[in-house]
Amino acid sequence: MEIKPKVVERLVRYAAIDTQSKEEELRIPSTEKQFTLARLLLEELRALGITDARLDPEHGYVYATVPATLPPDEAAGVPAVGFIAHLDTSPSVSGTGVRPVVHENYAGGDLVLPGDPAQVIRENDVLQSQIGADIVTSDGTTLLGADDKAGIAAIMTAVEYWMAHPGARRGTIRVAFTPDEEVGNGTAFFDVQGFGADFAYTVDGGEIGEISDETFHAQTAVVTFAGRNTHPGYAKGILVNSLYAAGHFLSLFPEGMKPETTEGREGYLHPHDLGGNEESARLKVLLRDFEAEGMAAKGALLGEMAAETERRFPGVTVGVEITDSYRNMKEVLGRHPRVVAMAEEAMRQAGVTPFRHAVRGGTDGARLSFMGLPTPNLFAGMQNPHSKLEWVSSRAMEQAVATIVNLARLWAENGNAPGPDRV
């Protein structure tokens, strides 16, 4: 079975389906159109011979099992491995009318996108490393949606490979496709127990060889400023304007703790939403750090800023309420080192040099890990996601497929080894 034409054809076909999710929708999935791709994948899984493929009719999750080829007594001794990708594309850039373009046998240089010649993917080291591969882009008027349809294409191509090779030794493989990852709700109704995997891998990373076993800790603070309003014509000695207090509070954010001044393993405080009037104002602040101690320090700093603002503006009351969003999945994955180590070996056997990448954000895998399903994130190869300049190479997707197939084989061969980190 030739991997390249299969995985490229799948990406092109899936990318043409509009599956954009929508911010601030209460329902899941946030857009009905995500069901279009979900139903297509259900049909394709069944056509490949997957007998238990099912669709959650309310929330759009697709689940399937690739059966083990090991004898039953052996299969019972190795873990069931899951592979997960998401259906939706980012709300940031239009996903309507996506027209994928395959730039065959890339020879180097810039790529001018035909639908809008002003959209140019400039040659860079990553693009240059893919000379000889096919490069898939949009036509420049929309995003491509390789985030995460490249991951879906890689998993589906691996499923086709497994079903075409019944003699290849493997344990039980679980597959899932989820809605609304881009708006933070991809795991809200994920059926961990019904999925039935001992651990899983999301296939939703960028650069070839990337494996993410660490994310930020994340919290959101809501800072409220309560003043006192009256008619401005008769306000002397009475009016206490909450907006001045909010402005002062904003001026206290340390320069070295802003998203625009931090990188790598540095955390940040990010005020991102402000509204109100003289009587009351409300500010939302994102807190991010890789370490729990760093999170605690940032929360304490907001409290100090609130107290200083109250001293500066007598009569204003400042409240700070902090809630958790997600936690660093390293807390879970650190207890299961073989899950990551096996992925690294699978990449090496696919001709890929693995590297660990700490995500300056969150992943579905972070939430799933704390739901009882340890889930690091593997590369799918996409570059410039959430933009009209998004692209992915056929070589990256081929190597993602090879990594997935290798993982199934390696766990079948080594999954029953004893050890304290046995999943």
Residues 6+ apart with CB under 8 A from 293: none
Single-letter amino acid, residue 31: T
Half-sphere exposure (CA, 13 Å, Cβ side) for 112? 4
β-pairing, 81-86 vs 54-55, is unpaired
Q: Is there a catalytic annotation at residue 390?
A: no
Indicate which residue of 18, 88, 134, 182 is catalytic: 88
Please state, in angstroms and rounded to a whole number, the distance separating the CA atoms of residues 253 and 269: 8
Indicate which residue of 18, 160, 181, 364 is catalytic: 181
Residue 275 has which token pair?
């509204």
Q: Is there a catalytic annotation at residue 413?
A: no
Please state, in angstroms and rounded to a whole number, the distance separating the CA atoms of residues 351 and 43: 33
β-pairing, 355-359 vs 210-215, is parallel
Bridge partner residues of 217 (DSSP) = 289
Please state, in angstroms and rounded to a whole number, the distance separating the CA atoms of residues 218 and 287: 6
> What separation in angstroms does the CA of 328 have from each of 212, 362, 420?
11, 8, 22
Please state, in angstroms and rounded to a whole number, the distance separating the CA atoms of residues 4 and 22: 32
C-beta separation of 283 from 274 below 8 A: yes
Q: Which residues are annotated as catalytic?
A: 88, 181
